[in-house]
Amino acid sequence: MLILAFRRFISMALIMAIISFTLFALFESDKLAVAGKVLGPYSNTEQRLLWLENNGYNEPFLARYGTWVGNALTGDFGQSIQYKTPVSEVLWPRLGNTAILAGLYMLIMIPLSLTLGVIAGMKEGSPQDRFVSVGSVLTTSVPEFASATFFTAIFVFWLGWLPGTAAMSSGFSWAEIFLPVLVLVMYGFGYTARMTRASMAEVMTSHYIRTAVLKGIPYRRVILRHALRNALIAPFTVIILQLNWLLSGVIVVEVFFAYKGFGKLLLDAALFGDIYVIEACTLVAVFVAVFSQFISDIGYTLLNPRIRFT
Amino acid sequence: MEQTPILECRNLCISYDTRGGEIPAVIDFNMKVMPGQGVGIVGESGCGKSTVALAVMQYLGSNGYIKSGEILFHGRDMRTMSQEELRAIRGSKIAMIYQEPMASLNPSMKIGEQLAEVPLFHEDVTRAEAMARALELLEAVKLPDPKRILDSYPHQISGGQQQRVVIAMALLSKPDLLLLDEPTTALDVTVERGIVELVKEISAEFGTSMVYISHNLGLILDTCDRVTVMYSGEAVEDGTINEVFDDMKHPYTSGLFASIPLPGADKNERPLVPIPGQLPLPHQRPQGCFFSPRCAFCREGICTTDKILMRPVPQEEAHTVRCARFEEIDWAEGDHEAVTVKSVKSGKVVLKVRNMKKYYEIRSSSLLSMIRRDAVKTVKANENINFDAREAETVAIVGESGCGKSTFAKVLMGLEEATDGEVILNGEDLAHVSVQKRKARTVGHLQMVFQNPFDTLNPSHSVGNQIARVIRKFGVEKDPEKVRQKVNDLLDLVKLPRDFAHRRPRQLSGGQKQRIGIARAFAGNPAVVVADEPVSALDVSVQAAVTGLLTEIQNDLRSTLLFISHDLSVVRYLSDRVVVMYLGHIVEQGTTDEVFSPPYHPYTEALLSAVPIADTSVVQKQIILEGDIPSAVNPPPGCPFQTRCPRKIGSICETELPPLKEFQDGHQILCHLDDDVFESMEPVIVMHKKGEVIPVS
Amino acid sequence: MTVEIQDNDSSPSTIGKMFKSIGLLRESPVAIFGLSLILFWVILAILAPVLPLYDPNELLEPFKFPLSEAKDGGLYWLGTDHKGRDILSRVIFGAQQVLVWATTATVVAYIVGMLMGVVAGYLGGWYDEVISFISNILLSFPVIVLYIIIITYLGATGFNIVLAVTFASAPGIMRIVRGLVLDLRTRDYIFAAQTRGESSMYIMLVELLPNARGPLIVDACLRLGYTTITIAMLGYLGLGLPPPDPDWGKMIAETQPLGSFAGHMAVVPAVAISSLVLGFNLLADGLREISMKD
């Protein structure tokens, strides 16, 4: 078990190293372009060369990469071009905001989709199964920017119940975060629910469930003790890996509702050409993704004795 | 005095609802199980035998239902019971043992936990008591180290052990009735023997009644008092074992017996008689008698119009038959054509295998083993393989799982390279030549028939194209017209209609697919054909026809057949020489007569004792091997068979690889036993009354 | 299974087979409904140039509501947007755009992913190690980050969008194909092909891939839907194809601030994209159901 964790950890570190190197090579191998980005389009070549000299850009490429990684590890991602402040000062608060959004989403989505999936999968073809199946196809077909449009049209402009933005200009507000979370849940729960349903339905037709029923133990126990544990292994990994896809939705929602989060920061930086922010955001996003994969692998092994003891 | 039966099925009809409408799975089924009795249900796949068991359990899935009839348990109709009443009976009064032990156990629950559930929910016991009971039962089913097993997950123990756990689970509440649904089909023969003995002992000890479902007549003979033969959803014959086995009345029963090879009988005395045709699909059942299209005694008008009912045989009141003309059948009158295996004179040596070794290296990727520097383990899949095969000869390679027979086939076919030694085909050493480097003719000269008919053909391409590809690939023909002609010839050869060339594999039955597989193997006029358990996945009544076809073609073309099998009955029947393998070693080889009569290697002896034989006149010596076949990754030191050998003589078996003892010319045995022990060995299979065995032909 | 031996004696032509597989759809009303939704948009997109529509980029009268009359006596069926462009025309021409790029991107991603998967699954060994490692690296990118990096680095052109979708989807496709191939390669007919000395290329392309098609068709449908969303999303985020061509995502982004008094401008493209994606998802669902029954 520990060995496995260690191996996973090594491969995680390796992936991070490769990605960070590619990223650095992509954005910073052309030194003059970097200087151009920092100093603006009206700077001349002389100024740019001087800036490169002053900022240690004339070191060999690998040495620069080393310094950059070292700095990144200590939380120093350089100076934002757009905001003229250290990147970390913008990054962490934004990341916190997104964590709130994603956390609320997970808090609602996980119990909702697991419950619905299990209920649907318990009896394949039953009315509750059809309801959940059709419902989840419908909601996963409506992308976030579309459902956000619909919900805003209904709740904001027509009924006037909720605010149309979530800028949180006067501090955290439940009313403002309601729609963003709703939009994310609408789009996101279907996938996990369908996965859970399929997994549960498969388990319910398995021979060991037959054994359990024909052993004469109560139906409740068959479901809770025999079926659930095996049925939830697959959705568990899906939920964690969903973080990878979640970020797309998060960006859309943050843009739509003007929520000051990590996604909007990344998008703005990309559109502005704020390379240090892009680098920092990418590193953080990839780290979260790789780390979640690590957790998912470990969790999968813990849940599945067939892998744990071999 | 009339006892109440434990279980009684009266006019039971079970149907499934499908897209195509209602499909009757079981029709008008009657059965009585008296206390302490063992009742067998025998039939081929799809005959409805498992459906009966599940109906008794009232577990038919969402689309199955009991259409009419009654299932009485202790005289009470189970259909009228509430869910709670059923729950109380399931697992405590009626318990079931399943075909696939691995799939039947919950993979993420410890075995102790799964066992303890039974008493916990049926009796008023504490957890500790339940666990103690579980432990007790694990001991009763003779599992080694029951405490450890109690604390294991199912995947951590072997298949045979898993089945013992399932049996323990079924017995925990001392049920009145045990339903066994093909409990040993997934297991090796020697392991099967142990399980069957256990079931017999236990039913005797606990006085449990049994319903034993199997396709294997030999196992039924071994375990039951009565037997019901089913065909296409109906019981066709019902009676005591002796009535049905020795004095069968239904043409299907008789056909079934005639189509299975018996290791006691000689192929010339008792040729195999296959049943022509195949089982009808549920929605294509004929009018009248379902067996009529395949029956040699069918009379238009009598058999093909009205529903046939079960009728008692005169003077044998408990023996009933569903045949309109059983009284008047003259068995000598019209029978199907027998498969005769001509004794062909074998020619020169075609294939020579000399000191062939195949070792695999498996790399363990765990860090620990990297530190210990034993990351690379050697699996000795084949060790010192030596034998010859002559032209037109059939050489059987016999062994259970892990014996190395499949690896040997791979080396032969050039999919793996031998680690050492020679494989000489017509003077050319192929041991280190992979198939891609072999000449087209050589490849065509060495072909294979595969085990699983459902896998043997590519479902995406038509049958004709698949055969044509082989013809072109081997360079037999190039011209499209000639290729088409050759495809037709091959279809003729395997006795299938020519328009099968246009069909997709999914439109063929298992037996037909296997025939195409044979056609494909013989497309390049092969010198050697390797047949890897070619009929083991087929229904019994189809097996004989395919086996017959294979040997017939082989005889005509004078090819050499290497017949890989675990089934000694078939081997005895069709092979000239036999090679017995165990854990990568050849432990015995010789002519068929030499191998099947003493002296034996102790493993051959045990194998012969383990084959279930559907013949009441045969007495088999009882040799039950303990434990399971060791893994090839960790073979035992010394003799490979020493861990299970009933004739082990001492420490020499554990330390030294035995010498190869030569008996008559060519009969070799790898064993430490003394010559006088070999001389004093008695035959395992004895017929106690020769002649008048089976009333066929 | 031995079914329906009678009705298939002659070898059917390719077109005949196609009709037969479409006929299979009859078994699933869900699939038919999904297919109709897709066909609705495909037909509109194909007919767009010949339909009596306004030029999608022509500035007519701004802020017209649906069904209002145009100056020239015509009708703005779905109204006009803030710049005065006809929304119906923009939605239909937008369908063209999104369908063309979503299909191209999915097809390219599929070809790449399938080749990677079949090589990794069948040849195994180092091929597998390398391909799986590259896939793992790509899979550890949150997809949107991958899009943002590729598009900001290379620029927003159709080709780059196809490239980005391929980078993001091919590893997933590769995993599915690899899994299928790992299962299929143990079948006896593969063994049979090997024993008659077929080349690896032949086995991969002729023996393996055709048998993986069932699950792959279902997955491809889902992916088409997802790629449609992706392309519209990139448009919405301002990373899509450059103006002035109509783009559903961009239409929503442009008109979203005006929702308070002209909601229809954003709702129409939102409905359009949702219905098209729903079509793909339902078709995939129906196909899966049909394949499960067989």
Q: What is the pLDDT of residues B329-375, one digit of tens each?
A: 877 766 667 776 666 677 889 999 999 999 888 765 555 555 555 56
* Distant-in-sequence, close-in-space partners of C20: CB < 8 Å, separation ≥ 6: C12
Q: Specify the pTM.
A: 0.86
Residues in chain B with pLDDT values less than 70: 1-2, 263-269, 333-336, 340-344, 363-375, 689-697
The answer to whether the CB atoms of C5 and B281 lie below 8 A apart is: no
Quote the CA–CA distance of C85 and C95 in Å, as a whole number.
16
Q: Which pLDDT band holds residue C11 (cuts at 50, 70, 90)?
A: very low
Determine the pLDDT at residue B128.
93
Q: Which pLDDT band holds residue A83 (cuts at 50, 70, 90)?
A: confident
- Of all residues in chain A, the one with the smallest CA distance to C282 is A137
Average of per-residue pLDDT across A289-301: 85
The answer to whether the CB atoms of B458 and C189 lie below 8 A apart is: yes
Partner B, chain A 93-152, Cβ-Cβ below 8 Å? 123-125
Determine the pLDDT at residue B691.
46
A-chain residues within 8 Å CB-CB of C281? 137, 140-141
Determine the pLDDT at residue B266.
63
Cα-to-chain-centroid distance, residue B165 = 22
Q: Is A6 on the interface with B (CB under 8 A)?
A: yes
Element (DSSP H or E) covering residue B379: strand B376-390
Q: Is B362 on the interface with A (CB under 8 A)?
A: no
C15 by DSSP, 3-state: which?
helix
Tokens of B65: 């239902």
The answer to whether the CB atoms of C196 and B459 lie below 8 A apart is: no
The answer to whether the CB atoms of B506 and C1 lie below 8 A apart is: yes
Give which of B106, B156, B162, B165 to mutate to test A binding, by max A Cβ within 10 Å. Answer: B106
Q: Which residue has the tokens 């990754």?
A: B633
ipTM summary value? 0.86
Nearest to B448 among C11, C195, C213 (CB): C195
Residue A102, strand partner residues: none
- Of all residues in chain A, the one with the smallest CA distance to B369 is A3
Cα-to-chain-centroid distance, residue B624 = 18
* Distant-in-sequence, close-in-space partners of C50: CB < 8 Å, separation ≥ 6: none
* Distant-in-sequence, close-in-space partners of C84: CB < 8 Å, separation ≥ 6: C59, C60, C61, C62, C63, C64
Tokens of B226: 């009565």
pLDDT tens digits along C185-216: 988 999 999 988 889 999 999 999 999 988 89
One-character DSSP codes across B232-286: TTEEEEEEEHHHHHHS--SHHHHHHHHHS--TTS-TTTS-B-PPPS-PPPGGGPP
The answer to whether the CB atoms of A252 and C237 lie below 8 A apart is: yes
pLDDT tens digits along A96-105: 999 999 999 9
Of B389, B408, B387, B388, nearest in space to B399 by CA: B408
B288 by DSSP, 3-state: which?
coil
Average per-residue pLDDT in chain C? 83
Nearest to A125 among B62, B121, B155 (CB): B62
A-chain residues within 8 Å CB-CB of C250? none
Signed CA dihedral, B359, B362, B363, B367: sign only:
negative
One-character DSSP codes across chain A: -HHHHHHHHHHHHHHHHHHHHHHHHHHHSSHHHHHHHHH-TT--HHHHHHHHHHTTTTS-HHHHHHHHHHHHHTT---B-TTTSSBHHHHHHHHHHHHHHHHHHHHHHHHHHHHHHHHHHHHSTTSHHHHHHHHHHHHHHTS-HHHHHHHHIIIIIIIS--S-S----TTS--HHHHHHHHHHHHHHHHHHHHHHHHHHHHHHHTSHHHHHHHHTT--HHHIIIIIIHHHHTHHHHHHHHHTHHHHHHHHHHHHHHTT--SHHHHHHHHHHHT-HHHHHHHHHHHHHHHHHHHHHHHHHHHHH-HHHH--
Quote the CA–CA distance of B569 and B218 in Å, as a whole number.
11
Ranges of H-type helices in B496-564: 510-521, 540-557
Q: How far is B59 from chain A (nearest CA, A)?
A: 8
- C-beta of residue C31 within 8 angstroms of C-beta of residue C285: yes
- C-beta of residue B645 within 8 angstroms of C-beta of residue B300: no
Nearest to C191 among B19, B450, B499 (CB): B450
The answer to whether the CB atoms of A286 and C145 lie below 8 A apart is: yes
Determine the pLDDT at residue A170.
76
Percent helix, strand, coil in chain B, to 5, is 35, 25, 45
- Of all residues in chain B, the one with the smallest CA distance to C183 is B455
Residue B208 is given by DSSP the state -
Q: Which pLDDT band holds residue C121 (cuts at 50, 70, 90)?
A: very high
The answer to whether the CB atoms of C270 and A150 lie below 8 A apart is: yes
Give the number of B-C residue pairs with CB atoms closer than 8 Å: 78
Of C195, A36, C219, C74, nearest in space to B526 by CA: C195
Average per-residue pLDDT in chain A? 87
The answer to whether the CB atoms of C233 and A145 lie below 8 A apart is: yes
Quote the CA–CA distance of C67 and B208 in Å, as a whole number.
82
Of B394, B358, B287, B286, nearest in space to B585 by CA: B358
- Of all residues in chain B, the one with the smallest CA distance to A225 is B109
Signed CA dihedral, B631, B634, B636, B638: sign only:
positive
Residue B643, strand partner residues: none
What ranges make up the beta strands (E) of B413-570? 420-425, 428-429, 446-449, 528-532, 560-565
B-chain residues within 8 Å CB-CB of A7? 367
Tokens of B466: 């698949």
C-chain residues within 8 Å CB-CB of A149? 252, 256, 259, 266-267, 270
* Distant-in-sequence, close-in-space partners of B190: CB < 8 Å, separation ≥ 6: B400, B606, B607, B610, B625, B629, B644
pLDDT tens digits along A4-16: 788 888 888 888 8
Nearest to A6 among B92, B95, B367 (CB): B367
- Of A30-44, B543-557, C107-121, the range with the lowest mean pLDDT is A30-44
The answer to whether the CB atoms of B98 and A211 lie below 8 A apart is: yes
Quote the CA–CA distance of C125 and C136 in Å, as a whole number.
16
Nearest to B87 among A218, A233, A310 (CB): A218
The answer to whether the CB atoms of A146 and C153 lie below 8 A apart is: no
Determine the pLDDT at residue A132.
92
Determine the pLDDT at residue B244.
92
Tokens of C274: 């949702």
Residue B589, strand partner residues: B579, B668
pLDDT tens digits along C166-188: 999 999 999 999 999 999 998 89
Nearest to C274 among A142, A248, A289 (CB): A142
Determine the pLDDT at residue C182.
92
- C-beta of residue C280 within 8 angstroms of C-beta of residue C224: yes
C88 by DSSP, 3-state: which?
helix
Q: Is A85 on the interface with B (CB under 8 A)?
A: no
The answer to whether the CB atoms of A306 and B117 lie below 8 A apart is: no
B-chain residues within 8 Å CB-CB of C201? none
Cα-to-chain-centroid distance, residue B286 = 29
A-chain residues within 8 Å CB-CB of C256? 149, 152, 256
Between strands B177-181 and B209-214, the pairing is: parallel
Signed CA dihedral, A109, A110, A115, A117: sign only:
positive
